[in-house]
Structure formats: structure tokens, C-alpha cells
A and B are shown apart, each in its own frame.
Chain A
């Protein structure tokens, strides 16, 4: 039943994504100021938002695990963080490509890109911590604690880097579509692709959660075998 749902979700996401790609590359016109490269926004922004939603969800799931002790929350939290990190990396890479085409440099210290990078580092630490702990209950507790610290820190990091980059005296680069309101056709495309990317993210999370549960089952079977 659950597997059928995941497959259905993945297929639906694939179809929507294919449709979106068709529209993005073949139907929508080039943007007035930026040319063809502006299309990257349809991946850059949804990936960023998916990542941030994921981190927030991970916070709630970690708190749920610490309150109730149910491993399902731990598996979900770990899967959500993993998928969010992937989408944050997509966000950073697409931002970097965009900067290269528009500004001629591979990296700008734009506050959003920098904050995204810090988030990736914080949650990469979370993933590394999980790999370093073998015992499942200890792994769940400690990574939940780290997740809580990390998520709260993310809030402070975002505001700090924004203030540092925008209020700090000196040149500031910013990635935006070249000013003015976004065209309604483009705005609709943005939401459509956000939906596709979110569906992909959810499917990945569900698959990953199943893997976590299986790994825990294997660990307990190994302990039973050792005890006999």
C-alpha cells in the first residue's frame, strides 16, 4: 500500500516535471534583461524553499522524537535532512552557475547563497554524526539534539549574514531577476516547478525512511544473533 503510494507519487512528479521542462525550455520566452539563463530560477528558488521547509520539518520531527521516543520520527528526520541537504546543494550550484553567466564569477558572497552554504555545512555535520554512531537509540537521541541546535542556529545565521552582507560597508552583489515585477507566466511556472520538486523530495524522503527502518531491523537481528 505504502509502496504503491510512493511509486504513484514518483510517477506523478516525473510527469509534472517533464511537462514543466517542456514549458520552461520550449514555450516560455527569454527574459528581457538576462536572456536564457533566467530559466535557472525555476530550479534555484524551488530547491531553496524545499530545503528550508525540510530543515523546519526536521526540527519538528526531532522535537517529536525527543518527546515521544518513536523511531519513526527519527527515521523521518534523518531522511528529511538528507534530502534537504541535497536540494540546498542544488540551490547553491544553480546559484553559482547563474552568477557565472550574469556576473562572470563562480561565487558571490550574496547573503542568501552564503547562508545556504552554512546550512549545508551544519546539516552535513548532522549526517556525519549519524554515520559515526552505531547504536540506534543513541544515534536518534544525539542527532535529534544536534538538529534542534542546528535549526535554531539557522535562524540566527540567516539574519546575521544578511546584516553582515547588506549593512557591512562595501560592494554588495545580489541575485535577482533584473528588477521589476515578475511576469505572471513565469510566476505560474515557478509554482508549478516548485510543486514538482516538492513531490520529488517527498518521494525521496519516503524511500529513505524505509531504508532507515530496515537498517534498524538488521541491527537488532545482528544483536539477537550475537546474544544467542
Chain B
């Protein structure tokens, strides 16, 4: 499908730039590690209770680090009027948003992997016990975050208060997704079987992803062309 190919080209271009400059990943990765460190002063890192809230800790770290990545996402199109060039090219608005979401997804997954590693060491949590389920959860939840990040990164790109507005707008919207991810992660870290309660949250994740991806595609032109 042509739109998909265009989206992948956009993602590939963004990742090429990111691999060369490493701006977003370095900033987001460092930020994640710092927050994990700060949390260690807020909670007793070794206690059993920490294992119960580990999911919450991690997904907050991912959300905060994500904002740094999403800010850069469309901001890197501003110099030299590259955004205008892209919008007037054969790439449709929906493909552009999709491509940016793919790039956000991969960058945030990289930061998440780093964070999990550091988290396991700092907090003595064995996060690798259920790798496939954890991977599936991370991809599903991170996709939702990435789409919202791409949409509102585009929406706020020309605003003077972009760095402030983006987190303020996206965090309340992400609450259902974060709750779902946290609940499932807590179950996985405690090595509990995924019961009907966790599967309910899995469905919430799926609905969130589908609804907001569709909405993003539908409103892409409205948001990008103004």
C-alpha cells in the first residue's frame, strides 16, 4: 500500500537523522535514568511494596521520557521549512502522521528497554520472567502513546509554548492507557497469571490504540494544514 510505503519512508528518514544526531534518545534515556534514580529516594527500593508499584513507576518514566521524543518529532521539520516541503509533496497528511508515530514507537521502545535494564538493577525486580507478554504489552501501549505524541506534536509544532503545551495536553489523554499498562505490568512483574481483570485492561489498550489511530488518520489533514 502506497500510504504505508510513504509512512515507512518518513519513519526511516527520521530514524536516520536520529541515529546520526542521537538527540532525542540521549535526552530521553538520560532523563529516564535520572527519574528512576530520584524515585529511589521517594520509595524504599528494596521493599516488596516497590515491586507492587514497579509498573506504575516504569510507565510514568516512559511517559515523561516520551514527551522529550515527541517534542523533537515535528520540531525537526521546522528548520529550512522542511514541513512545508513534506506537506506539499506526495506524502499525505495521514502517512506523515503514521510515519512519525512509527519513528516515535521505535525510539521510545529503545528508551524503554534501557529503562527496564536500569530498573531491574536499581530496584531488584526480575522483569524478564514473562518476556513475550511484556514485549507485546510494551508494543501495544507504546503505540498508543506514540500516536498521541505524533498528533499533538504536529498540533503544537508552530506554537511558541510548544514544550510546555505538549505534556499538559497529552498526559490527561493518556490516563486510560497508562492505567491499563500499569495494571498488566504489575501482574507480569509479580509473575501472576493474567486473569480477567488484566485482560479487561488489555481490551482497553486495544480499543485506545484502534480508536486514536483511526481518529489521527481522519484528522491528519485538519491538524497539519492550517
Contacts and interface: CB of A to CB of B under 8 A. Distances in A.
Contacts of A142: 155, 223, 226
B65 to A, nearest CB: 20
A129 interface: yes
Contacts of B26: none
Contacts of A129: 155-156, 159, 165, 169
A153 B155 contact: no
B207 interface: yes
B204 A160 contact: yes
A133 B156 CA distance: 9
Q: Binding site of A, secondary structure by majority: helix, strand, loop or mixed?
A: helix
B159 A132 contact: yes
B215 A149 contact: yes
A103 interface: no
B85 interface: no
B208 interface: yes
Interface in B60-103: none
A156 interface: yes
Interface in A154-198: 156-157, 159-161, 163-164, 167-168
A156 B172 contact: no
B172 A122 contact: yes
Interface residues on A, range: 20 to 34
A128 interface: yes
B175 interface: yes
A125 interface: yes
Contact of A150 (B160, B171, B173, B200): B173
B173 A149 contact: yes
Interface in B200-216: 200, 204, 207-208, 211-212, 215
A137 interface: yes
Nearest to A139: B226
A156 B222 contact: no
B160 A132 contact: yes
Nearest to B212: A149
Contact of A125 (B169, B179, B204, B208): B169
Nearest to A153: B173
B226 A163 contact: no
B226 A156 contact: no
A164 B179 contact: yes
Interface in B163-197: 165, 168-169, 171-173, 175-176, 179-180, 183, 197
Chain B interface size band reads 20 to 34
Contacts of B161: 132
Given A128-B168, A132-B160, A133-B159, A145 B223 contact: yes
B155 A156 contact: no
B222 A145 contact: yes
Contacts of A118: 172, 175
Contacts of A157: 172, 175-176
Contacts of B172: 118, 121-122, 125, 153, 157
Interface string A126-143: 001100110001100110
A66 B222 contact: yes
Contacts of B108: none
Contacts of A141: 222-223, 226
Contacts of B211: 152, 156
Interface of A: 66, 118, 121-122, 124-125, 128-129, 132-133, 137-138, 141-142, 144-146, 148-150, 152-153, 156-157, 159-161, 163-164, 167-168
21 contacts: A121-B172, A125-B165, A129-B156, A132-B159, A137-B226, A138-B158, A142-B223, A144-B222, A148-B215, A149-B219, A150-B173, A152-B215, A153-B176, A157-B175, A159-B176, A160-B179, A160-B204, A161-B175, A163-B200, A167-B197, A168-B183
Task: Sort A-B residue pairs by CB-CB distance and give the 4 closest, nearest first.
Answer: A160-B176, A121-B172, A125-B169, A122-B172
